Amino acid sequence: MDKRQRIIFTMLELVVKQGVYATPMSQVAKEANVAVGTIYHYFDNKQEILEEIYKMINQDYGVVLMANLPDTDFKTQFEAICLNLFNYYIGNPLAFKFMEFVAVPPLMPKELVEAVREYTAGLRDFFQKGIDEDHLRNDVELRLLMQTASGCITSAVKLKEMGAIELSEKEIKQVTEMAWDCVRKH
Amino acid sequence: MDKRQRIIFTMLELVVKQGVYATPMSQVAKEANVAVGTIYHYFDNKQEILEEIYKMINQDYGVVLMANLPDTDFKTQFEAICLNLFNYYIGNPLAFKFMEFVAVPPLMPKELVEAVREYTAGLRDFFQKGIDEDHLRNDVELRLLMQTASGCITSAVKLKEMGAIELSEKEIKQVTEMAWDCVRKH
Amino acid sequence: MDKRQRIIFTMLELVVKQGVYATPMSQVAKEANVAVGTIYHYFDNKQEILEEIYKMINQDYGVVLMANLPDTDFKTQFEAICLNLFNYYIGNPLAFKFMEFVAVPPLMPKELVEAVREYTAGLRDFFQKGIDEDHLRNDVELRLLMQTASGCITSAVKLKEMGAIELSEKEIKQVTEMAWDCVRKH
Amino acid sequence: MDKRQRIIFTMLELVVKQGVYATPMSQVAKEANVAVGTIYHYFDNKQEILEEIYKMINQDYGVVLMANLPDTDFKTQFEAICLNLFNYYIGNPLAFKFMEFVAVPPLMPKELVEAVREYTAGLRDFFQKGIDEDHLRNDVELRLLMQTASGCITSAVKLKEMGAIELSEKEIKQVTEMAWDCVRKH
DNA sequence: TATGAATGAGCATTCATTCAT
DNA sequence: AATGAATGAATGCTCATTCAT
C-alpha cells in the first residue's frame, strides 16, 4: 500500500477508535510509518484527510449498494440492496462507524455532504422507480422514504456495533422485512 | 436561571453549534456570564458537564415519552408515543442534535450509556407488553424492535434538521405509520 | 516590573540580538520568567508584541526629542534636538536597533507606520516653523528635509553601533553641524 | 537566463516583497521554475543565496558609483557620483530594498560586511582625496563623512520607496546639494 | 461563592534540507 | 545536471485546569 493510502487508513482507524480531536497527526504519522511532513506532502491539512475518507466511503456505497442486483421483481431487488448494505457495513465496521460517529455535524462542510449524495444517485432512481411502479408508498417524500428504510438498517448495525445484539442471517432477514414493511405500498 | 444552569445550557448550545472540541471553556464562561473558575466550582471538568447534559436529556425522554398516553388500544398509544417523541425533538432541537451528533462514541463512557437506558424503562415495558399481547412482531429481539421504530422517527427529524424536508402534521402522521408498519405483527 | 512589561522588554532584547524569526516565543517566555500561555494572556500574538514595542519607542521619541528646548534662537534649538536624539539613541541602543534593523518592511503594517508619525508632530511643526521663518531651506519638501537631517544622526549612530567609530562629544558636535549645514538656508 | 541566475533573482524579488523568513525555498523553486533539489545543486543553503545577492549588489555599487566621472573639479565629480547612486537605486529598487531592509543585522556575517567594503574602495579614495585636497571637512573621520553623505541619498530614496515623495530631477538636485553641504569644507 | 491571571503540555503545521533516482 | 518525495525538528498558539485572592 502506498503512503497516501496508509495515511488514509491509519487516520480512519484512529479517528474511529479515539475521535478526531484525540487523534494527533503525530500518531497518524507514527502508525502509518511515515514522517509528519509526508502527510502534508499528500494532504493540505487534517480536515482534508477526513474529507477524503468521507468521499471514499460514499463512493464505495454507491458502487456496492447496487451491485449484483438480481433481474427479478422489485421486492427481491430491494432485499438484495438491503443485503448489500448489511454486508458492506458488517464487512467494513470502520466505514460504518466513521459515517455514523465521526462524520457528524459540523465536521463535514455542507457542500461536500450535498456533493456526495450524487454518488448514490442509483439508489435514488431505484426508489423513484418503486414509487412510480406502485411498489412503494407514493404519499411520502422520496428523501424521507429512503432515509427511513436505510435508517432501519443502520439502527440494526448500530446495535450490533454496541454489542447489544447479534446480526446473523436471521436478524438480517428480519430487519430487511421491517425495512420493506416500512416503505412498501399497503 | 442560576449559574449552574447557565453553564449547562451555554455548553449545550455551543457544543451543538461548534462541536465539543471547538468549544473552549473560556467561551462557555464568557457566554454564560461567569468566570472560568466558577465553572470549576460547579463541575469537576468539561467531560462532567457533557455527561450532565446527557443525563438531563435522557431523563426528559423518559418522562416526556410516556406522558399523556390515552387509555385506549395499543396502536393508538403507540402513535401517541411517536407524537410525544416528535414534539420533544422538534421543540428541543438542541437536545436532538446533542444526542445525535455530540454524544457519539467514544464521548460517553459505556457505563453511563447503559445506566441511562433505565430512564426509558417505561418504553421498554410498553414494547414488551406489545409483544406479549401480540400487537408487535414476536420474532424480533426487543432491543432491535425498539431501535428500529425510534430509528424511523429519528431519521425523519434528522432530515428536517438538515433542511431537507418539512415536518408538518402530515409528515409526522406518515412517519408514525411507517414506524408502526415496521414493528407490528402482520 | 510586571509580567506584561517583562515580556515586552525580553522580546525587544532578543529580537534585536537574534532577529524576529530566530526568537521563539518559548525563549521569550523562559527569559521573561513567565509561561508561554501567559504571553498570550497579554497579547494576541507575536506580531502584536512587536507592534507594541514599535509604538512604545515612537512615543518615547515624540516626548524625548522636544524635551528641554532652550528658549533661544532656532539654530540652538535645532542643536538641542539633535543632542536629544543622540542621547536617546546612545542611551537606548535596543530602541535604536529595533527601529533600524527590526521594524523593517514588511514587518509593520502601513497604517501603524503612518499612525505613529503623529507622535512626532512636534518635530514636524518645529521644522515647518524653521522654513516659515527662513532658517531652513524652503525649496525642499518638509518630509525630505526632516528625513535628511535625522538621516545624518542615524548614520552616525549606526557606525557607532557597528563598532566603526566612537561617538564622543566631539563627533556628536560634528554630526550636529553637518545636519545643520544640510538643511539650513544658505 | 540560466537556472543559477533565475534562483538568485527570484530569491531577491521574493525576499524583498515578503521578508527572508516568509520566503520558503519551495516558493523560490516554484517561481524560478526549478526543482527544490536544483537549488541545492547550485547553493549550499538558503543563507548562501542571500550572501550571493549581497555580494552581487555591492559589486554593482563599486562599479556603478565611479562610472563616467567627468574630468572636472571635485564638486562636479561629487555630484556625478551622487547622480550615479540615485540612478542605480531608482533603476534597481530591489537592490535598494535588499540592502536597506533585508541585509540587516544579524543576517550577514561580520566578515562579509567588511569584505564587501573593499568593493567601494574607489569611493573611499575619492573621499580621502577630497579631504587631502581641502574640498571636504578634514575634522571628521572618513567613515563618518562617507556614511553621512550617502545617508542623505539613502534617506531620499527611502521616502520615494515609501511613496511619500517624488524623486524627479529637481529633488535629486536638491538632495545632492544637501549632501554636498553636509560634507564640504566651509 | 466567585474570580481571572497563570500555567505548560500538547497540537497542527511549516520548511530547510537530503537523497534515491 | 536535475528532480521532488520524504524527513522531522522546530514553531506559534490553544485551552483545560489550578489557585491565590
The answer to whether strand F lies under 7 Å from the CB of residue D35 is yes
Q: How many CA atoms lie within 13 Å of C152's alpha carbon, on the beta-carbon side?
A: 30
Residue labelled with grid coordinates 560634507: D183
Query: How does pLDDT run across B66-107, given as a tens digit for each residue?
Result: 999 999 999 999 999 999 999 999 999 999 999 999 999 999
pLDDT of residue D1: 80
Residues 107-136 on chain A lying near strand F, CB distance under 7 A: none
**Strand E bases contacted by the protein (CB, 7 Å):** 1-20
Query: How does pLDDT run across D9-61, given as a tens digit for each residue?
Result: 999 999 999 999 999 999 999 999 999 999 999 999 999 999 999 999 999 99
3-state class (DSSP) for residue D185: coil
Rg (CA), chain B: 18
What is the separation, in whole angstroms, between the first and last Cα of chain C?
50
Which candidate, C160, C28, D64, A148, places its Cα nearest to that of B154?
Answer: A148
Neighbours of D97 (CB within 10 A): 21
3-state class (DSSP) for residue A104: coil
Residue labelled with grid coordinates 491539512: A45
pTM of the model: 0.95
Type of residue found at A43:
F
pLDDT of residue A13: 98
- 10 Å CB burial of residue D108 (0-12, 13-18, 19+) is middle
List the domains of chain D with CATH numbers: 1-43 (1.10.10.60), 54-183 (1.10.357.10)
Average pLDDT over residues D169-174: 95
Mean predicted lDDT score pLDDT of chain A:
97
Q: How many CA atoms lie within 13 Å of C132's alpha carbon, on the beta-carbon side?
A: 6
Main-chain phi, psi angles of B173, to 5 degrees: -60, -45
Which candidate, A84, A51, A53, A48, places its Cα nearest to that of A66?
Answer: A84
Tell me the pLDDT band of C167, cut-offs 50, 70 and 90: very high
What is the separation, in whole angstroms, between the first and last Cα of chain A?
50
Is pLDDT of B186 > 90?
A: no
pLDDT of residue D157: 97
Average pLDDT over residues D65-83: 97
Chain D residues inside the 8 Å CB shell of C148: 152, 155-156, 175, 178
Distance from CA of B35 to the nearest CA of A (A): 25
Cell of A83: 443485503
The answer to whether strand E lies under 7 Å from the CB of residue D109 is no
Q: How far apart are CA C114 and CA C119, in angstroms?
A: 10
The answer to whether strand E lies under 7 Å from the CB of residue D18 is no
The answer to whether strand E lies under 7 Å from the CB of residue C37 is yes
Q: Which of C113, C154, C165, C182 to mutate to test the interface with D (most CBs of D within 10 A)?
A: C182
Concatenated DSSP letters for C159-182? Answer: HHHTTSS---HHHHHHHHHHHHHH
CB neighbour list of residue A100: distance below 8 Å, 6 or more residues apart: A154, A158, B104
- 10 Å CB burial of residue C25 (0-12, 13-18, 19+) is middle
Cell of D52: 550571493
Q: How far apart are CA C140 and CA D181, in angstroms?
A: 14
Chain A residues inside the 8 Å CB shell of B101: 104-105
Residue labelled with grid coordinates 408487535: B136
Interface of D with C (CB under 8 A): 17-21, 97, 100-102, 104-107, 137, 139-141, 143-144, 147-148, 150-152, 154-156, 158-159, 164-165, 171, 174-175, 178-179, 181-183, 186
Distance of CA A81 to the CA centre of its chain: 13
The answer to whether strand F lies under 7 Å from the CB of residue D37 is yes
3-state class (DSSP) for residue C91: helix
Query: How does pLDDT run across A60-92, given as a tens digit for each residue?
Result: 999 999 999 999 999 999 999 999 999 999 999
- B144 contacts A175? CB cut-off 8 A: yes
Q: Are C13 and C32 in contact (CB under 8 A)?
A: no
Q: Please, which chains are in contact with A (at least 3 CB pairs closer than 8 A)? A: B
Tell me the pLDDT band of C140, cut-offs 50, 70 and 90: very high
Average pLDDT over residues A7-21: 98
Neighbours of D141 (CB within 10 A): 16
User: Does residue D134 come out as left (phi exceeding 0), alpha (psi in the -120 to 50 range) or beta?
Assistant: left
pLDDT of residue C129: 98
Type of residue found at B83:
L
Distance from CA of A4 to the nearest CA of B (A): 26
Q: How far apart are CA D129 and CA C11, in angstroms?
A: 45
Q: How far apart are CA A21 and CA A32, in angstroms?
A: 18
Q: How far apart are CA D41 and CA D49, in angstroms?
A: 12
Tell me the pLDDT band of C186, cut-offs 50, 70 and 90: confident
Q: Are C137 and D125 in contact (CB under 8 A)?
A: no
What is the separation, in whole angstroms, between the first and last Cα of chain B?
50
Which candidate, C62, C99, C96, C97, places its Cα nearest to that of C81?
Answer: C62
Q: How far apart are CA A122 and CA A60, in angstroms?
A: 13
Q: Output the furthest CA–CA distance in chain D (Å, rounded).
A: 59
Is pLDDT of D101 > 90?
A: yes
CB neighbour list of residue B139: distance below 8 Å, 6 or more residues apart: A174
- Between the CA of residue A172 and those of A17, A158, A178, A179, what are the distances in Å? 26, 13, 10, 10
Tell me the pLDDT band of A156, cut-offs 50, 70 and 90: very high
Q: How far apart are CA D7 and CA D1, in angstroms?
A: 10
Helix D74-91 with D46-65: angle, nearest 10 deg:
140
Which candidate, C17, A156, C101, D147, places its Cα nearest to that of B182?
Answer: A156
- 10 Å CB burial of residue C178 (0-12, 13-18, 19+) is buried
Cell of D23: 520566503
Q: Which of B117, B137, B141, B144 to mutate to test the interface with A (most CBs of A within 10 A)?
A: B144
- D151 contacts C144? CB cut-off 8 A: no
Q: Are C179 and C153 in contact (CB under 8 A)?
A: yes
3-state class (DSSP) for residue B34: coil
Average pLDDT over residues C17-43: 98
| d(CA A10, C1' E12) / Å | 17
Type of residue found at D177:
E
Average pLDDT over residues B117-127: 97
Nearest-CA residue relative to C1' of F14: C37
Q: Are D90 and D157 in contact (CB under 8 A)?
A: yes
The answer to whether strand E lies under 7 Å from the CB of residue B1 is no
Is pLDDT of B16 > 90?
A: yes
Query: How does pLDDT run across B161-184, given as a tens digit for each residue?
Result: 999 999 999 999 999 999 999 999
- B21 contacts A171? CB cut-off 8 A: no
Q: Please, which chains are in contact with B (at least 3 CB pairs closer than 8 A)? A: A
pLDDT of residue C22: 97
Helix C46-65 with C110-117: angle, nearest 10 deg:
20
3-state class (DSSP) for residue D35: coil
Please, where are the H alpha helices in A19-73?
A: 25-32, 36-42, 46-65
Neighbours of C78 (CB within 10 A): 22
Return the DSSP state at D133: T
3-state class (DSSP) for residue D178: helix
Tell me the pLDDT band of B1, cut-offs 50, 70 and 90: confident
- B158 contacts A147? CB cut-off 8 A: yes
pLDDT of residue A1: 78
| d(CA D40, C1' F1) / Å | 12
Residues 21-60 on chain A lying near strand E, CB distance under 7 A: 21, 23-26, 36-37, 40, 45-47
Distance from CA of A66 to the nearest CA of B (A): 22
